[in-house]
């Protein structure tokens, strides 16, 4: 079964839906160890820590 839209949305209607994508600022968190700005669910690139655990080695 596939999705079957009842009415085709016009180009303007469709494009307007995608017009404001870049407006939202990506939600950033702070690393619990070094305090650097990190994306959620990502290893901190500054100190290599995720969930208060050392995950990757960071060269000094
Ligand atoms: Zn960090």
In a domain, 17, yes or no: no
Distance of CA 38 to the CA centre of its chain: 10
CA of 15 to the centre of ligand 1 (A): 39
pLDDT tens column, 5-47: 999 999 999 999 888 887 777 789 999 999 999 999 999 999 9
23: which DSSP letter?
Answer: G
CA of 22 to the centre of ligand 1 (A): 26
In a domain, 8, yes or no: no
Q: How many CA atoms lie within 13 A of 55 on its CB side?
A: 13
Whose tokens are 């290893």? That residue is: 43
In a domain, 47, yes or no: yes
Domain of 36, in residue numbers: 25-60
CA of 11 to the centre of ligand 1 (A): 44
Q: Phi first, then psi: what are they for 39, rounded to 5°?
A: -75, 145
Residue 60, pLDDT score = 73
- Token pair belonging to 7: 């009415």
Q: How many domains does the chain have?
A: 1
């Amino acid at each position: 079964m596939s999705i079957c839209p009842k009415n085709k949305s016009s180009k303007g209607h469709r494009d307007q839906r995608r017009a404001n994508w870049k407006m939202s600022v990506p939600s950033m968190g702070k690393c619990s160890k070094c305090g650097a700005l990190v994306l959620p669910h990502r290893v901190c690139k500054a100190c290599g820590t995720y969930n208060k655990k050392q995950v990757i080695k960071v060269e000094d």
